[in-house]
Chains A and B, each alone.
Chain A
Amino acid sequence: METVLMKGNEALAEAAIRAGLKVYFGYPITPQNEVGEYLAKHLPPAGGTFLQAESEVAAINMVYGAAGAGVRTMTSSSGPGISLMQEGISYLAAAELPAVIVNMMRGGPGLGGIQPSQSDYFQATKGGGHGDYRLIVLAPSSVQELYDLTMLAFDLADHYRNPVMVLGDGLLGQMMESVTLKPYIPAFPLEEKTWATRGRKNREPNIINSLYLDPERLFSHNQKLFKKYQEIAEKEVRVEVINEEAEFFFVAYGSSARISLKVIELLKEKGINAGLIRPITLWPFPYTVIAEKVNQSKGFMVVEMSMGQMVEDVERAVKGQKPVYFYGTAGGIVPSPQKIFQRTLEILEGGQE
Chain B
Amino acid sequence: MAEILARPESLTKVPFHYCPGCTHGIAHRLVAEVIDELGLAEKTIGVASVGCSVLAYDYFNLDMQQAAHGRAPAVATGIKRALPDRIVFTYQGDGDLASIGMGEIVHAAGRGENITVIFINNSIYGMTGGQMAPTTLMGQKTTTTPEGRTKDNGFPLKVSEMLATLDGVAYIARVALSDPGQVIKAKKAIKTAFTVQEKGLGFSMVEILSTCPTNWGLSPVNALKYVKETMTRYYPPGEFKKPEGEW
Answer yes or no: A and B touching, Cβ < 8 Å: yes
Residues of A within 8 A of B (CB): 22-23, 25, 49, 51, 53-55, 57-59, 61-71, 73, 87-88, 91, 95, 197-202, 205-211
Contacts of B78 in A (CB 8 A): 23, 25, 61-69, 73
- A130 to B71 Cα, complex, angstroms: 17
Q: Given A51-B81, A58-B103, A58-B107: A64 and B75 within 8 A (CB)?
A: yes
Residues of A within 8 A of B79 (CB): 65-66, 68-69, 197
Query: What would 13 more interface pairs be, CB under 8 Å, given A63-B78, A198-B83?
Result: A25-B78, A54-B103, A58-B71, A61-B78, A65-B74, A65-B79, A65-B82, A69-B83, A88-B71, A95-B66, A200-B61, A202-B42, A208-B66
Return the contact of B66 from the options A22, A73, A202, A211 (Cβ within 8 A).
A211
Does B77 interact with chain A (Cβ within 8 Å)?
yes
Taking CB atoms and an 8 Å cut-off, the chain B residues in 31-86 that contact chain A are 41-45, 47, 54-55, 57, 60-68, 71, 74-83, 86
Measured between beta carbons, the chain B residues less than 8 angstroms from A208 are: 64-66
- The reply to whether the CB of B104 lies closer than 8 angstroms to some CB of chain A is yes
Q: Which residues does chain B contribute within 8 Å of A22, judged by CB atoms?
A: 82
Q: When the two chains form their complex, are residues B104 and A201 in contact, meaning their CB atoms are under 8 A apart?
A: no
Cα distance, A71 to B85, chains bound together (Å): 14
Residues in chain B within 8 A of chain A (CB atoms) = 12, 41-45, 47, 54-55, 57, 60-68, 71, 74-83, 86, 103-104, 107
Q: What's the Cα separation between A82 and B103 when bound, in Å?
A: 18
Instruction: Name the contact of B65 in the complex, choosing from A53, A88, A197, A200 (C-beta under 8 A).
Output: A197
Q: Name 10 interchain pairs, CB-CB below 8 A, sorted by A.
A: A23-B81, A49-B81, A61-B68, A62-B77, A65-B76, A88-B68, A200-B63, A209-B57, A209-B65, A211-B54
A210 to B62, CA, bound (A): 17
In angstroms, how far is the closest chain B Cβ from the Cβ of A315? 35
Is B104 within 8 A of A207, CB to CB? Answer: no
Q: How far is the CA of A91 from the CA of B47 in the complex (A)?
A: 14
Q: Which residues of B contact A49 (CB under 8 A)?
A: 81-82
A199 to chain B, nearest CB (A): 4
CB distance from B117 to the nearest CB of A (A): 14
Contact partners of B61 in chain A: CB under 8 A: 200, 205
Contact indicator A207/B82 (Cβ below 8 Å):
no
The answer to whether A69 touches B104 (Cβ under 8 A) is no
Shortest Cβ gap from B127 to chain A (Å): 11
For A68, what are the chain B residues with a Cβ–Cβ distance below 8 Å? 65, 75, 78-79
A213 to chain B, nearest CB (A): 8
- Report if A61-B82 is in contact (Cβ < 8 Å); known contacts: A205-B62, A211-B54: no
With A23-B82, A66-B78 in contact, is A200–B103 under 8 Å at CB? no
Give Cα A309 to B42, complex, Å: 49
Q: Is the CB of B67 within 8 A of A199?
A: no
